[in-house]
Chain A
Amino acid sequence: MALSKPDYYAILGVFRDASLEDIKRAYFDSAQKLHPDKNVAPGETELFLEIQQAYEVLANPKRRSLYNATLPPEIEVNTAVKHEIHFSRPNLVKLGEPQLIYALLEVSSREEKSALPTPPLNICLVLDRSTSMQGEKLDIVKATAIQLLRSLRPEDVLSVVSFSDRAEVIIPASISPDKKKQEGRIQMMQASGATEIFNGLEAGMREVRRTLDPSRVNHIILLTDGKTYGDEQACLQLAEEAAALNIGITGMGIGNEWNDIFLDALASRTGGSSAYISKPKDIERLLVEKFKALINIYADDVLLELKEQEHVKINYVFRLQPEGGSVEIESHMHLGPILREAPLQVLFEFLVSPEALNGDALSLISGSLKTSITARPMPVPPIRLNLTREIHSNPSAEPPPTQILSALSRLTLYRMQERARTAADAGQYDAAARHLHNLATHLLSQGEHSLAKTALFEADNLERMHAWSASGHKDIKYQTRALLLSGVKEKAR
């Protein structure tokens, strides 16, 4: 057997000790993508046959064990992605009280960025056209949509859906478009009605699914300026369906009225996050930036599957890069995309109970990372992820790694803002103002004068009026979040 040829396990993208069920699931997943009735790229039919062959062998226990005997000992090398982990401390300490430990996970592409073609896009713009969008906002949104339409490459698909209390498909998803006519249709959009996000999202999903293709970047960009009432739960469910189909969602909120917590929750279910557009004139810049990021996607989502560990609680998971945002803590976590130039960076905070410290070592996470490379049909073998720390009786004197320290120092600012918000929501305005004062001190010392001023101004508002100003908490939240990213960039320079 030639060494370079991937073995059947690698072809299916499963571990050697995968259960029959895992093998079946992996087979069905790839078969769906590569079936001769559906595949488009040359060579995919051959790949499909290989997968079928692999499945036939591995699904039969007898043939599988015969096959296993021919395999060289397992070397877990993943050719597509690599990952690195840094811990805040080299070991855990035997203590009678709970303790925290942090881990920074970095997943990046192993390939030269020139070696891969940029993947074609399959994007749906879901645009709010409720009454409040009237005027400058809608005009800029229309102009930007037309500009994006013109900048598409021939292989890209852009569909456009507008919604208020009902949804309307402005441009259906299709590959050979008549652009003049489409531009005209965008121009015709009129503002009226209320904001019901579910309707828009559902129609957007339908369009993206029309040209759904795993070798494209499938993505929905939701642009809204208002709150949706009553259909939040349905929206979140839809986002989960989208995640299962590898469709990403980005939420962009314009102005002060929209619900950032909801949009964050919606986007994070697919490994995305929300963005805040404080002034209508920023709409264009942020949308164009988003498109650039989407074209640069190497893998659209990294999925972390994990088993719960006794006495270890995952307190907080935050994606530092490419788009800062908190990650929903579940047994299947959508960590986010890997860009060609920017690795995915996720920070975990673990809370370890004293009961967990009986052995010599403790596993904080035991699970696997799964992903697929957008521009490549071949399944990527999952990466086993075991975060284990030894348990010592004395703390180590080693200083924490600078990556973690600098990431946490910036994340601390973001979390202080979160704490201020929680306190204010609970009616503890004094506590909220205190958190903001503390935040302002740190911002000042880092040279962020204008944001510090905003924080002090809001602290004052909370103390005197028991309320945030119209844009206050969004300004602080999204700007402290942006600081996270600028920190990462500085380091890379």
Chain B
Amino acid sequence: MIVCSTCKHANMAGAMFCAECGAQLVGKDSLTTQTINTDNFKKVAKGYSEDDYQPFDGSDAWGSLHLLDTGQVLPLTSRNEFTMGRISEGQPIMPDIDLSPYQAYAAGVSRLHAVIKRDGGRLIFMDLGSANGTYVNGKRLNPNAEQLIHHGDIIALGKMKIQILIKHDK
């Protein structure tokens, strides 16, 4: 018998999902929540210089987030505004960019941490009242106050450092 940790329903031995609430009962670590389109992911060497950044071939990304700790690049594509944070089980909060697969919890990323948006040629970044703060090039931002950022800036959500890479307009 397996008792579901979410709803206390007694499930039969060998069950993998709770028959009552549908929560996963076994092997939780092997399934990560991923809501980002992973097709455009590319491992890259750390550090970009100002001019050698090229968006991925054939993608319409206008920029991307370079996770400095893990080396991954998340494309910013198809819309102009992205909330960043981490999905946690049982909470209906859905950031546009879920950082939970990249040790967001350990780095102190809030569930709804910050927002990045493109306004014409400008790039605006704002902390959404996060618990551990948001930094641009090492300087802490005031919550809910907009801040201009630029290509190559390094932002940090809690301890998670991300370099901003923006495609140059012609």
Which residues in A have some Cβ–Cβ distance to B below 8 Å? 88-89, 93, 95, 97-102, 351-352, 399-400, 402, 404-406, 408-409, 412-413, 416, 419, 438-439, 441-442, 444-445, 447, 449, 493
Report the separation of the CA atoms of residues A352 and B13 in the bound assembly, to the nearest whole angstrom: 10
> What chain A residues lie within 8 Å of B19 (beta carbons)?
419
> What chain A residues lie within 8 Å of B92 (beta carbons)?
441, 444-445
- Asked if A95 contacts B13 (CB within 8 A), the reply is yes
> What chain A residues lie within 8 Å of B45 (beta carbons)?
none
- Asked if B22 contacts A99 (CB within 8 A), the reply is no
Report the separation of the CA atoms of residues A407 and B133 in the bound assembly, to the nearest whole angstrom: 39
- Asked if B1 contacts A97 (CB within 8 A), the reply is yes
Residue B3 at the chain A interface, CB threshold 8 Å: no
A364 to chain B, nearest CB (A): 12
> What chain B residues lie within 8 Å of A102 (beta carbons)?
14, 16
A31 to chain B, nearest CB (A): 46
Report the separation of the CA atoms of residues A399 and B12 in the bound assembly, to the nearest whole angstrom: 18
Of A88, A402, A419, which contacts B14 at CB under 8 A?
A88
**B30-38, B73-81, B116-124, B146-154 - the one binding chain A:** B30-38
Q: List 18 A-B contacts (CB under 8 A).
A: A88-B16, A93-B14, A98-B12, A100-B13, A102-B16, A402-B30, A404-B16, A406-B31, A408-B17, A409-B17, A412-B22, A438-B21, A441-B22, A441-B90, A444-B94, A445-B87, A445-B89, A445-B94
Of B1, B14, B22, B35, which contacts A413 at CB under 8 A?
B22
B85 to chain A, nearest CB (A): 14
> What chain A residues lie within 8 Å of B29 (beta carbons)?
399
> What chain B residues lie within 8 Å of A413 (beta carbons)?
22
Report the separation of the CA atoms of residues A445 and B90 in the bound assembly, to the nearest whole angstrom: 8
- Asked if A99 contacts B12 (CB within 8 A), the reply is yes
B70 to chain A, nearest CB (A): 21
- Asked if A89 contacts B14 (CB within 8 A), the reply is yes
- Asked if A402 contacts B31 (CB within 8 A), the reply is yes
Residue B131 at the chain A interface, CB threshold 8 Å: no
Report the separation of the CA atoms of residues A416 and B19 in the bound assembly, to the nearest whole angstrom: 8
On whether A93 and B30 interact (CB within 8 A), knowing A439-B22, A442-B22, A447-B94, the answer reads no
> What chain B residues lie within 8 Å of A416 (beta carbons)?
22
Report the separation of the CA atoms of residues A419 and B17 in the bound assembly, to the nearest whole angstrom: 14
